Chains A and B, each alone.
Chain A
Amino acid sequence: MTSVMTQTDLAETADTSAVPAQPAEHSKMAARGVNVFYGEKQAIRDVSIDVDMENVTAFIGPSGCGKSTFLRTLNRMNDTVASARVEGEITLDGENIYDKSMDVVQLRARVGMVFQKPNPFPKSIYENVAYGPRIHGLARAKGDMDQIVERSLRRAGLWEEVKDRLADSGTALSGGQQQRLCIARAIAVDPEVILMDEPCSALDPIATAKIEELIHELRGRYAIVIVTHNMQQAARVSQRTAFFHLGTLVEYGETDQIFTAPRQERTKDYITGRYG
């Protein structure tokens, strides 16, 4: 930086340095010029962002800013809403996921999702984890399935707690355990990307800490994107942070830079609690 910027110089310009420098093919998932409409209302405005394997990406922003909506475009969950319309390009390993040739069912196995309120199926723990691999034909013999279930539960940090009661109902677990079960369920289909939509907002601090530690362990093996309204969590858990506001991407950068010296006034106002 050769020019000195004082507080008063931080204007509300769009942070053009946040536009991804690398071409879309080199990131795990890349969005370019994405617009999302619900009927006539525009929810997401011209968003371009990259998600890579090595870094956990966090989306932060006030309520209604579109971060969850944008997250759901990454695995085409918005398709379930009749009035939703997505424009722009979103690629996974270079392939456009909204192309007609992309099978949305397989896409959702490759790009898994964990939701805000833990939602295990009302089946046994084993069945919860085994359901995904079963419907995608990932296990040939029963021995294979047992292995997949154990591996997924181990990676989710739940194996030790449930290995003796795999036949118990998934809904009988505590909130934190249920969420880890949902993560295990998502992992079981061997995804490449895991999307997490406020995964800890319904959990107590200890369960939250366990999930955050889990995210840290999963980093690198899966590309992880986490939406959170808890800024401290975004700061703890992610390496890249994107700040959304009113449907636009205001700033995207390294997490420590965003939280110690954000470039945009709006970002600063939001993270210091001067918003609203």
Chain B
Amino acid sequence: MATGHEHTVKAFDEDIKHLRALISQMGGLAEEAITDAMTALQRNDTALAKEVRAKDKAIDAIESEVEKLAVRVIALRAPMADDLREVVAALKIAAVIERIGDYAKNIAKRVPMVHTPDTGRIEAISLLPAMAQMAGDMVHDVLDAFASRDAEAAIRVSERDNRLDDFYDSIFRTLVTYMVENPRTVSEVAHLLFVAKNIERIGDHATNVAEMVYFAATGQYLADRDTDTAEN
């Protein structure tokens, strides 16, 4: 009979653990990047913004390491069933987190463009951190779900994307109204629009990750489940 769900070949367990650790590490760096980018935006901290952009290279490096390790596991271990799903999911999740990192980097890039000497402080900036917090939480929770192979938690995360989208819609309207009322700040606020869009995209990517976590855990596709529930 199975003993404690460990592979007979211990090195296989080591490989899987390493893979998860890399994803987890990557996720941590991505969350940090989001938080730091928002902080830099609020405080107009160009030094921090530069740091965020530099740290993105680390995320890219880990993504390529995940890729190499996943290919190696597939070639050498011939993973089956849940092991196979987990490796494939890890491969895809790494790519997604790398893109999340890129969005955070993009936000950091726009920091000097939002804060110009003549505009002074734009109040609209204060709306964004809450949205970013929501997106960041989604990323955090979905990676927790991956680590614990919790399909339920993944579903909950994907459901929160609706709220994030609503949040984006309202911020969009607010920023546009602000632009109309303060025509001199149009270019800066335009950048803020992009920042908001980036955060909304981060939320979407977190939902993608949730679907992959669901697949890895159950072997089924969340989309199929959605159509089922939609029909019902």
B188-207 vs A, Cβ < 8 Å mask (1 yes, 0 no): 00000000000000000000
Partner of B12, one of A231, A268, A273: A273
Docked complex Cα distance between A231 and B83 (Å): 15
Docked complex Cα distance between A47 and B231 (Å): 38
Partner of B9, one of A5, A266, A273: A273
Q: Which residues of A contact B7 (CB under 8 A)?
A: 272-274
Contact B2 A6 (CB under 8 A): no
Q: Is B218 an interface residue (CB 8 A)?
A: yes
Partner of B80, one of A265, A271, A276: A271
User: Which of the candidate stretches B107-115, B147-155, B162-170 sits at the interface with the other chain?
Assistant: B147-155
Contact B152 A260 (CB under 8 A): no
What number of B residues sit within 8 Å (CB to CB) of A? Answer: 29
Q: A266: nearest residue on chain B (CB-CB)?
A: B2
Do A4 and B151 form a contact, CB below 8 Å, given A260-B81, A276-B8? yes
Do A272 and B83 form a contact, CB below 8 Å, given A261-B219, A266-B2? yes
Contact B220 A261 (CB under 8 A): yes
Do A6 and B217 form a contact, CB below 8 Å, given A260-B85, A262-B81? yes
Q: Is A106 an interface residue (CB 8 A)?
A: no
Contact B80 A272 (CB under 8 A): yes
Q: Is A7 an interface residue (CB 8 A)?
A: yes
Q: Is A232 an interface residue (CB 8 A)?
A: yes
Q: A275: nearest residue on chain B (CB-CB)?
A: B2
Docked complex Cα distance between A268 and B5 (Å): 10
Q: Is A259 an interface residue (CB 8 A)?
A: yes
Do A269 and B217 form a contact, CB below 8 Å, given A4-B225, A260-B85? no
Contact A261 B80 (CB under 8 A): no
Contact B84 A274 (CB under 8 A): no
Docked complex Cα distance between A6 and B152 (Å): 8
Q: Is B228 an interface residue (CB 8 A)?
A: yes
Docked complex Cα distance between A275 and B225 (Å): 31
Contact A2 B85 (CB under 8 A): no
Contact A6 B232 (CB under 8 A): no
Interface residues of B in 85-119 (CB under 8 A from A): 85
Do A274 and B232 form a contact, CB below 8 Å, given A7-B82, A260-B81? no
Q: Which residues of B contact A265 (CB under 8 A)?
A: 2
Interface residues of A in 1-40 (CB under 8 A from B): 1-2, 4-7
Docked complex Cα distance between A6 and B150 (Å): 7
Docked complex Cα distance between A5 and B8 (Å): 26
Closest beta carbon of chain A to B204's beta carbon, Å = 22
Q: Is B6 an interface residue (CB 8 A)?
A: yes
Docked complex Cα distance between A275 and B228 (Å): 35
Closest beta carbon of chain A to B88's beta carbon, Å = 10
Partner of B81, one of A1, A6, A268, A275: A268
Docked complex Cα distance between A254 and B5 (Å): 24
Do A2 and B232 form a contact, CB below 8 Å, given A7-B217, A260-B85? yes
Closest beta carbon of chain B to A208's beta carbon, Å = 15
Do A272 and B218 form a contact, CB below 8 Å, given A6-B150, A265-B2? no
Docked complex Cα distance between A5 and B82 (Å): 14
Q: Is B78 an interface residue (CB 8 A)?
A: yes
Q: Which residues of A contact B84 (CB under 8 A)?
A: 259-260
Docked complex Cα distance between A272 and B151 (Å): 20
Contact B151 A232 (CB under 8 A): no
Closest beta carbon of chain A to B117's beta carbon, Å = 55
Partner of B218, one of A2, A6, A235, A274: A6
Docked complex Cα distance between A211 and B7 (Å): 30
Do A260 and B2 form a contact, CB below 8 Å, given A272-B80, A273-B9, A274-B8? no
Q: Which residues of A contact B150 (CB under 8 A)?
A: 6
Contact B78 A232 (CB under 8 A): yes
- By a beta-carbon cutoff of 8 Å, the part of chain A in contact with chain B is 1-2, 4-7, 231-232, 235, 259-262, 265-266, 268-269, 271-276
* 7 extra A-B contacts, CB within 8 A, seeds A235-B80, A262-B81: A4-B151, A7-B218, A268-B81, A273-B9, A274-B6, A274-B7, A276-B1
